[in-house]
């Protein structure tokens, strides 16, 4: 089993890297939001998940062990494969995803490509008790954020764009109406 690689990025195509280590090239899929940190010619270190199927072997890479661990938890959920798990990781940071699962925020998980309400609910049910939250006592706007996302979706924005707008709201804004205004302003800019 492959678990780690250090090599030079020969080519980047979207969220897939061709990493050369010891004169061997490895195709490695990484979360799209991490792909912006990688460029052709860079030396990278990735923690790997090797997914073996009857017809193929696929590698998924992560810059940190907590990303890999969270990915493994996601694919342990019935009906969530590696590509779907990568899509979930593209929605937001791991801390915000853990917070969403802990607080039952279905809307955030629905923002991932290929995730419907039933799958989002299944992820929450299966992982809710197994995920340690970052900063247990931190302020969360879980239900307010869900209301804002739902309102933005109702206005015609996609769930992932709405989630990104909510993620850009400054943490010092706590009143729901002000948070909604801030989200709309971030979409307008």
Q: Are strands 24-29 and 16-21 parallel, antiparallel or unpaired?
A: antiparallel
Residue 142 has pLDDT above 50, yes or no: yes
**Residue 75 pLDDT:** 93
Contact 89, 61 (CB under 8 A): no
Sign of the CA dihedral with 60 first, then 65, 67, and 71 last: positive
Summarize pLDDT for 17-51 with one digit per residue, the tens.
Answer: 999 999 999 999 999 878 888 888 899 999 999 99
Contacts of 5 (CB under 8 A, 6+ apart): 19, 21, 26, 28, 45, 46, 48, 61
Lowest mean pLDDT among 35-44, 55-64, 103-112, 157-166: 157-166
Which structural domains are found in the chain, ordered by start?
4-62 (2.40.50.140), 65-127 (1.10.150.20), 142-188 (1.10.8)
DSSP 59-106: EEEESSHHHHHHHHHHHTSTT--HHHHHHHHTTS-HHHHHHHHHTT-H
Lowest mean pLDDT among 19-23, 24-28, 133-137, 168-172: 133-137
Lowest mean pLDDT among 11-20, 32-41, 49-58, 154-163: 154-163
Q: How many CA atoms lie within 13 A of 161 on its CB side?
A: 14
Q: d(Cα 68, Cα 78) in Å, to the nearest integer?
A: 18
**Residue 137 pLDDT:** 39
Verdict on whether the full-model pTM lies above 0.95: no
Mean pLDDT of the chain: 84
With CA atoms as reference, report the closest residue to 94 among 130, 70, 123, 65: 70
């Amino acid at each position: 089993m492959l678990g780690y690689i250090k090599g030079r990025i020969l080519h980047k195509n979207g969220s897939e890297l061709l990493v050369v280590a010891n004169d061997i090239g490895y195709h490695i899929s990484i979360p799209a939001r991490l792909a912006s940190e990688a460029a052709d010619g860079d030396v990278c270190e990735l923690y790997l998940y090797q997914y073996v199927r009857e017809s193929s072997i696929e590698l998924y890479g992560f810059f940190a062990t907590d990303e890999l661990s969270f990915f493994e938890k996601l694919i342990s959920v019935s009906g969530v494969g590696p590509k779907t798990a990568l899509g979930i990781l593209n929605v937001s940071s791991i801390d915000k995803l853990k917070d969403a699962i802990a607080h039952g925020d279905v809307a955030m998980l629905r923002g991932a490509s290929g995730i419907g309400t039933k799958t989002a609910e299944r992820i929450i049910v299966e992982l809710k008790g197994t995920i340690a939250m970052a900063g247990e006592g931190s302020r969360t706007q879980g239900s307010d954020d869900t209301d804002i996302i739902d309102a933005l979706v109702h206005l015609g924005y996609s769930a992932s764009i709405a989630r990104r707008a909510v993620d850009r709201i400054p943490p010092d804004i706590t009143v729901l109406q002000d948070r909604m205004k801030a989200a709309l302003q971030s979409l307008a800019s």
